[in-house]
């Protein structure tokens, strides 16, 4: 089904059309679907695959305005549903990201139909969805999955924009995974993917109010999840080096700063972006504009 909208801030004459409910992975009993946002300004623009956060779906209110603004600015946005529930094992995490890789291949296969340039591929995600782009093709080669609607090829990613990811995997995740957390970290987050990863430009975006919303305190406790999954002290040393443990807490922005510095040390073009006057689930007009600009321009870096 297609609908037409006129988003705030759209280019003059750039009506955005939303094509909804395209099945990209025929899972049972519920297939995985995606929506496509495109406009009259999209000819030759980048292909953007944007993964939603955990506990919500692609229609969550913060996401359509972002997709509409990207489409009005010249991109074509593929917004997939994906399985954001916490799986039982690291292998299940890997299977989830392989399935999400189907959405990337599907977007590339359909890109030209919507006026996009399949040679300009940007992967983006929010919160739990920020962990998907690196593991679903950005830094890691996915394995083909059954029932993908298209043949799955190795994508050449031109950039990733990762917004408010919890890169240190703390908090309630420790209660679920306990001593299995190190294996989960390697499966889910890019720390273990960097050595041989393609040198993809990355923007690590932090909402300006997210650090207060997502603080993890008590991290100086040697029994905490952080130290249990850090047996050689690498993480503790890095956090101390940047003064991140001075208050006994690690916040969202500090995790992103540490990841940006680690990515840069491995030769990736990694930069930070602070989204003005924005929270983890609320973007100001200015914050949305900053995020959209980063997504639209990163493929040209």
pLDDT tens for residues 131-170?
999 999 999 999 999 999 999 989 999 999 999 998 877 6
Would you say residue 4 has pLDDT above 50?
no
Give start and end residues of each alpha helix (H) in the chain.
63-72, 90-110, 132-133, 173-177, 181-188, 210-213, 225-228, 234-241, 252-265, 285-297
- 228 CB-contact burial (10 Å; exposed 0-12 / middle 13-18 / buried 19+): middle
Q: How far apart are CA 32 and CA 5, in angstroms?
A: 24
- Give me 40's structure tokens: 């009259």
Give the CATH H-level superfamily of domain 2-300. Answer: Alpha/Beta hydrolase fold, catalytic domain (3.40.50.1820)
Residue 74: what are its φ and ψ, rounded to 5°?
Answer: 115, -5
Greater model confidence, 253 or 71: 71
Residues 199-252 pLDDT 10s:
999 999 999 988 777 787 877 777 777 777 677 888 888 888 878 888 888 887
With a pLDDT cut of 90, the percent of the chain lying above it is 61
1-15 mean pLDDT: 48
Residue located via tokens 């420790």? 174
Would you say residue 1 has pLDDT above 80?
no
The per-residue pLDDT for 77 is 98
Crossing angle of helices 90-110 and 181-188, rounded to 10°: 10
The per-residue pLDDT for 211 is 75
Instruction: List Cβ neighbours of 63 (8 Å cut-off, separation of 6 or more).
Output: 50, 52, 79, 126
Q: What is the DSSP letter of 138?
A: I
């Amino acid at each position: 089904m297609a609908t037409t909208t006129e988003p705030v801030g759209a280019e003059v004459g750039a009506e955005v059309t939303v094509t909804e409910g395209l099945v990209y992975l025929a899972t049972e009993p519920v297939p995985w679907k995606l929506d496509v946002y495109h406009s009259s300004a999209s000819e030759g623009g980048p292909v953007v695959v944007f993964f939603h956060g955990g506990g919500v779906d692609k229609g969550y209110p913060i996401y359509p305005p972002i997709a509409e603004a990207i489409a009005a600015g010249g991109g074509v946005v593929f917004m997939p549903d994906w399985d954001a529930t916490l799986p039982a094992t690291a292998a299940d995490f890997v299977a989830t990201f392989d399935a999400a890789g189907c959405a990337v291949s599907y977007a590339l296969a359909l890109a030209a139909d919507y006026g996009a340039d399949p040679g300009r591929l940007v992967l983006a995600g929010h919160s739990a969805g920020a962990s998907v782009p690196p593991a679903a093709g950005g830094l890691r080669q996915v394995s083909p999955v059954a029932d993908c609607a298209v043949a799955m090829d190795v994508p050449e990613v031109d950039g990733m924009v990762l917004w408010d990811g919890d890169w240190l995997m703390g908090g309630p995740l420790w209660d679920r995974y306990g001593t299995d957390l190190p294996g989960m970290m390697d499966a889910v987050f890019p720390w273990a993917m960097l050595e041989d990863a393609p040198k993809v430009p990355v923007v690590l975006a932090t909402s300006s109010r997210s650090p207060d919303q997502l603080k993890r305190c008590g991290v100086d406790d040697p029994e905490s999840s952080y130290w249990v999954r850090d047996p050689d002290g690498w993480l503790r040393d890095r956090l101390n080096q940047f003064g991140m443990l001075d208050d006994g807490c690690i916040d969202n922005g500090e995790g992103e700063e540490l990841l940006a510095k680690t990515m840069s040390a491995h030769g990736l073009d990694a930069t930070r972006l602070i989204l003005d006057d924005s929270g983890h689930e609320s973007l100001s007009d200015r914050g949305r504009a900053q995020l959209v600009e980063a997504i639209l321009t990163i493929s040209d870096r």
